[in-house]
Structure 1
């Protein structure tokens, strides 16, 4: 444990001087989803106001670049291509998936789907897009032709969906606390892991390919070995259902958030607390930068002057406090 105690001290010390949050107002309603492009140069946010805002990161500040409009319903989740820094996809309640390109600054493809979409994932190899709707139907789309390749109707509550890092297994979390693992593209059932006593809400793979983490309604985050499918440890510092997770670029840190008024940042290898971020409202989305210890997040904040209105803001934490 000695090697870890030095690492813990070093990281805790770093965040004592890098704990500044900056707030950006980009939307007229609640922000549902934030995410960084793979090169870390851009941050995107999707909102209940039907828009997607794109910011560019300039050393220690974000600048608003463009607002993408076109969806006629809430933008519930955004997802960038894992190797192409200009492409992102969005899932909306308007029964469509859209692909956007920041080079031409517009929507380059629209795919109509059967229901109100809430979750979206892009396979790490870039070939496929999966989108889940409120009726627990998951639609698989060819990312190049934008044709629907398959539809899979599940008879349980499907929450978050994700591929593994090699894109040959498809994972989904469900309302019975299970993780279902299917082969891809065959979509044959490989394993069902009973992960939590409560609803399994979110799932996230670490960049090194060693672990994945799940967050649950039981307020726990569990860390799993990808190859053994064994639970390695449980993070227990939350009191409310864990809604969102993100690993740091090096796989060393795991951020988790809920309705607790703090975002927890723990050391993956031991579970120790490294830092936390105080927030004023429930947090629904967090995303670590792909090459720096910066965390983007969005809360259910209200407008300072009108408490009935959503603030529509997002924040980035981890800037130097000097």
Structure 2
């Protein structure tokens, strides 16, 4: 697998020709169901050395990026239903959080293969966001309730019923705001930890006073923050990716080349590129975040709804044909 040395950017004209030509490394799990949508979630650890995958068939596995053989992986067993979301602690390379529709949130030490903590009885949980310093996670369920959870406590610190369908959540880098995408195509900006609207119009009253990002004509389901806080990206079932600048919250550009609902979004480590995944179409769409230009399509065998850039190089992890796959680009094209 070709790689880019960390902290070396690749120019757009170079990336758009190099990326589509790269062959993926396939991380094959023979015990997992080989169906297109079995992998529900993918997450890199902070150093880009491990990738966790959570599956519809309850398989939770951590892969060594340099060793695609399943014998070199760690399987974490215990969830009784589909794994809907996984994410590594942003400041601890071996601490993983998993969220399942069985209503249980688990914290794992992947090196020791141990459960560090679990919180039960949360309903059909499916969203997860770590606070930037790793002290909390926010988990959401299908009843639109958000829970603040500590990695070391077996019950939620607090719970917050949301007034609208809440699809996805992400923290700002200060940890003082949470961005929540909604079923009516908007993105709410909420204070943390009290989950109140961060901005309101002084000349409006009640729920009408809340300032929200209205960027989609149908449900907004994906959200990602630029690594240097330049943009917030949102994706919707309207096949659009909207990029919002974070000073005045204006929508500065919209990417329109996606096919089908935008299920996942990911910025490259330097923020220059954004990739979108969908459960329709036949590839991953890569855009220049500074211009909105569609750079290339990375062709896949099946639709790839889940995709994530590595945190420190141009390597893309994605789901295709029921397997984890990783491609990487290097500045020298090696």
TM over 0.5: yes
Distance in 2, matches of 1:202 and 1:109, equals 28
3-state SS in 1 of match to 2:61: strand
Distance in 2, matches of 1:278 and 1:158, equals 31
Contact 1:97–1:113 (8 Å) recurs in 2? no
3-state SS in 2 of match to 1:296: strand
1:16: Cα distance to partner?
5.6
**Counterpart selection for 2:308 from 274, 282, 287:** 287
How do 1:21-60 residues align onto structure 2 when only pairs under 5 Å count? 21-26=24-29, 28-29=32-33, 30-58=38-66
Question: Does 109-118 or 137-146 show the bigger shift?
Answer: 137-146
Q: Deviations over 1:182-240 (max 9, x none)?
A: 11112211232212111101101111121110001110000111222111110010131
Question: What does residue 174 of structure 1 align with?
Answer: 182
Contact 2:32–2:59 (8 Å) recurs in 1? no
Question: What does residue 119 of structure 2 align with?
Answer: 111
Contact 1:21–1:319 (8 Å) recurs in 2? no
Distance in 2, matches of 1:13 and 1:297, equals 19
Question: What does residue 71 of structure 1 align with?
Answer: 79
Distance in 2, matches of 1:85 and 1:283, equals 26
Distance in 2, matches of 1:139 and 1:186, equals 11
What number of residue pairs does the alignment pair up?
303
Contact 2:52–2:63 (8 Å) recurs in 1? yes
1:107: Cα distance to partner?
1.6
Contact 2:177–2:192 (8 Å) recurs in 1? yes
1:285: Cα distance to partner?
1.0
How do 1:294-305 residues align onto structure 2 when only pairs under 5 Å count? 294-299=315-320, 301=321
3-state SS in 2 of match to 1:10: helix
Q: Structure 1 unaligned runs (5+)?
A: 1-5, 302-311
Q: Deviations over 1:236-266 (max 9, x none)?
A: 1013111111111111110001112111011
Give the alignment's TM-score, normalised by structure 2: 0.86
Distance in 1, matches of 2:58 and 2:19, equals 35
Contact 1:78–1:91 (8 Å) recurs in 2? yes
Question: Per residue, is there more strand in 1 or in 2?
Answer: 1
Q: In the alignment, is residue 218 of structure 1 matched against residue 238 of structure 2?
A: yes
Distance in 2, matches of 1:184 and 1:241, equals 29
Question: What does residue 62 of structure 1 align with?
Answer: 68
- Aligned CA RMSD, in angstroms, stands at 1.8
User: Structure 2 vs 1, CA of residues 113 and 229 (structure 1 numbering), >3 Å: closer, same or farther?
Assistant: farther
3-state SS in 2 of match to 1:243: strand
1:146: Cα distance to partner?
4.4
Question: What does residue 7 of structure 1 align with?
Answer: 11
